[in-house]
Amino acid sequence: MRSTATAAPLLGPSVLWLAVFYLIPLVLLLVQSFWTYDPINVVTDQSFTLGRYSDIGADPVYRDVLWKTVKLAALVTITDIALAFPLAAYIAYRVKRKSLGLLLVIIPLWSSYLVRAYAWRTILGHDGVLNSFLIWAHVLSHPSDAFLFSNTAMYITFTHVWLPFMVLPLYTALEKIPPALLEASRDLGADGPRTFAHVVLPLVLPGIIAGSIATFSLTMGDYITPSLLGGPDSNLIGNLIFSQFGETLNWPLGSALSMLVLAVLACFLILAGRTGALEAM
C-alpha cells in the first residue's frame, strides 16, 4: 500500500462490511452460547454459564455427528482434489481459450444450489436416469434404492457442487508455474512423475490448500443436501444446529454447536498453515 492515508478510505467500507455482517454476528453467537433456554416458560436466561458446552460433552450424539461430518468433509475434499486436478491441468495446458474453459466450470454456480441438488434427486432416484440406464444395460433387473436417500447420494452431490471451488485455485496455481521450470526439470533427467512430485506439487500446494479450505468448510456447514438427498442416518452437524435454531428454539445450544464447528475449522486452518502453503498466498 502506498500510504495509510490512501489505504484507509479504500479499506474502510470493506472493513465495516466485514465487521457488521461477519464479526459482530460471530461475537453474538459466542455470547449466546453462554445462555440457557427455558422451554417451559419460552424465555432465555442470559446469565453466564458453561452449561451448553457441558450439554454437548455429556451427550455422545453431538460428537458422533460432528465426527461423521468431519469424515465426510475430508472424503469430499480428497475426491474433489483428485477430480479437479486433471480438469485444471487440462484447461491450463491443453485448452486454447482458457477463459472459455473456466467459464464452463463456473456456469453451474449461476444456477441455484437447490436446483443442482434436486437434479441429483432425479438422477439417483428409484425411477431416475441412473437406474433406468443400469436396467437398460442389464446390470440391474429392478431399480436400486441404494443410490438416493443415502450417505452416497450426499457424497456425490457435495463432490459435484463444490468442484468449481477446487478447480479455480488449482488452475491459478498451475498457470503460474513457468513452463521453463518444467523444461529444466526434463532437461536434468527427471521423468513425468518425478517432475510432478518435486516441481509441480510444491508449487501447486497453495492452490490445493485454498480449494480444500473451501470444500471442507462448505461441507462442514451444510444442512440442505442432507435434508434433500440424505437417508435416515445422514444428519450432519449442520442439521443439528439448524434444528436447534429452527425447531427446538434452543439458540444457546445451537450457538455452542456452531462454536464447536468453528473450532474444528480453526484447527484445519492451523494445520494448513503448518504446511507453509498459506505464506505463499
Partner 1 sequence: MPSSLNRRSFLKHMGAAAGAVGAAGITGGAVAEAASRPAQRASSQATLNILCWEGYTDPSFVGPFEKMYNCTVTHTYAGSSDEMVAKWIAGHGNTYDLVSASGDADRRFIHSRTLLPIDVSKLKNFNQLYPKFHAPPWNTVNGIHYGVSFVWGANVLIYDTRKFKQAPASWEVLYDHKYKNEVSIYDSAITIADVALYLGWKDCYNLNNSQLAKIKTVLQQQKPLLRKYWAGAGDVEDAFQHGELVASSAWPLMTNDLRKAHFPIGETVPREGATGWADTWMISKSSPNVDLAMKWIDYMIGPQGQLGVINVTAYSGSSRAVVPALGPARVKALHMDDQAYFDQLHIWSEPVNYADWVKVWTDVRG
Is residue 51 involved in binding partner 1 (CB under 8 A)? no
C-alpha cell at 245: 435454531
Among positions 1, 42, 137, 180, the unique one binding partner 1 when judged by CB under 8 A: 42
Cα gap 269→263, rounded to integer Å? 10
- Which residues in 115-134 contact partner 1 (CB under 8 A)? 115, 125-128
Q: CA-to-CA distance for 278 and 276, rounded, in angstroms?
A: 6
Q: How far is CA 194 from CA 172, 182, 185, 201, 209, in A?
A: 22, 11, 9, 10, 21
Q: Rounded to the nearest whole angstrom, what is the least distance from the CB of residue 210 to partner 1 in the complex? A: 7
9 counts as binding partner 1 under rule CB under 8 A: no
Whose Cβ is closer to partner 1: residue 118's or residue 192's? 118
3-class secondary structure, 130: helix
Nearer CB in complex with partner 1: 223/268: 223
Region of residue 49 (phi > 0: left; psi between -120 and 50: alpha; otherwise: beta): beta
User: Can you name the residues that pair with 43 across neighbouring β-strands?
Assistant: 38
Beta carbons within 10 angstroms of residue 48's beta carbon: 9
Candidate segments 3-11, 17-25, 60-68, 190-198, binder of partner 1 by CB under 8 A = 60-68
| Burial profile 110-148: b = 16 or more Cβ within 10 angstroms, e = fewer | eeeeeeebeebeebbbeebebbeeeeeeeeeeebeeebb
Residue 256: what are its φ and ψ, rounded to 5°?
-60, -40
- Under rule CB under 8 A, residue 61 binds partner 1: yes
- Return the number of other C-beta atoms located less than 10 Å from residue 58's C-beta: 9
Size of the site for partner 1 (CB under 8 A): 53
State the binding string over 215-254 for partner 1 (x if CB under 8 A, else -).
------------x--xxxx-x---xx--x-xxxxx-----
CB 216 within 8 A of CB 16: no
Task: Give, in degrees to the nearest 5, the angle at Cα 52 between 60 and 253.
Answer: 90
Least separation in angstroms between CB 112 and partner 1: 3
Closest approach of partner 1 to the CB of residue 121, in Å: 9
Does 36 bind partner 1 (CB under 8 A)? Our answer is no
* DSSP code at position 142: S
Min dist CB 132 to partner 1, Å, is 12
Nearer to partner 1, 180 or 189 (CB): 180
Can residue 110 be called a binding residue for partner 1 (CB under 8 A)?
yes
Draw the binding track, 146-185, toward partner 1 (x: CB under 8 A; -: no contact). Answer: --xx--------------xx--xx-xxx-xx---------
Q: How far is the CB of 191 from partner 1 (least distance, A)?
A: 26
Give the residues lining the site for partner 1 (CB under 8 A).
39-42, 59, 61-62, 64-65, 106, 109-115, 125-128, 143, 145, 148-149, 164-165, 168-169, 171-173, 175-176, 206-207, 210, 227, 230-233, 235, 239-240, 243, 245-249, 280-281
